[in-house]
Amino acid sequence: MPSVRELLAEKGGEVVTIDREASVLEAAARMSERRIGALIVMEGEGIAGIISERDVMNRVVAARRDPAATRVHEVMTARVACCALDTKLDECRTAMTQHKVRHLPVVEGGRLVGIVSSGDILARELRVQEETIRYLHGYVTGPN
């Protein structure tokens, strides 16, 4: 089974972060600009939490809070499930299901080194399946 390390090698390890004191409006703008569903919230060099589109919708918009006046740390998810570079992707999928999350920060040696989303895992699985189908089709039909 492939690991997080292999997935990050394919997709790249860039992680978009935001300071815990930033406004939710800034967080939403950053997610929209980057076309991503979550930001890792930092406090100095450490992970303070994660803020997702779901957090913004449920804890700000639905609660009728002002996103420009609301700080990220007020509405972020503070308890963050993480994984390591050597974590197998099926373990990530299981953790995401159990914790009902779509994003796992990747931490190695106490440092944030990447992020894995459920979409990343699904896209990789689809590529592998497509390769298998092409191989099997070639095997069954023979050389052209």
Beta bridge partners of 46: 43
Looking at residue 144, its pLDDT comes to 62
Interhelix angle 118-141/4-11, nearest 10 degrees: 90
Looking up tokens 């690991």, which residue turns up?
3
| Cα–Cα dist 60/54, whole Å | 10
pTM confidence score = 0.85
Mean pLDDT per 10-residue section of the chain, whose length is 144 residues: 91 90 98 96 94 96 97 96 95 94 94 94 86 84 74
Looking at residue 132, its pLDDT comes to 83
122 exposure class (CB count in 10 Å sphere: 0-12, 13-18, 19+): exposed
Q: What is the pLDDT of residues 21-36, one digit of tens each?
A: 999 999 999 999 999 9
Q: Are 93 and 3 in contact (CB under 8 A)?
A: no
Amino acid residing at 53? E
* Number of separate domains in the chain: 1
Q: What is the pLDDT of residues 33-62, one digit of tens each?
A: 999 999 999 998 899 999 999 999 999 999
CATH code for the domain of 106: 3.10.580.10
| Cα–Cα dist 61/24, whole Å | 10
**Domain of 128?**
4-141
Q: Are 13 and 113 in contact (CB under 8 A)?
A: yes
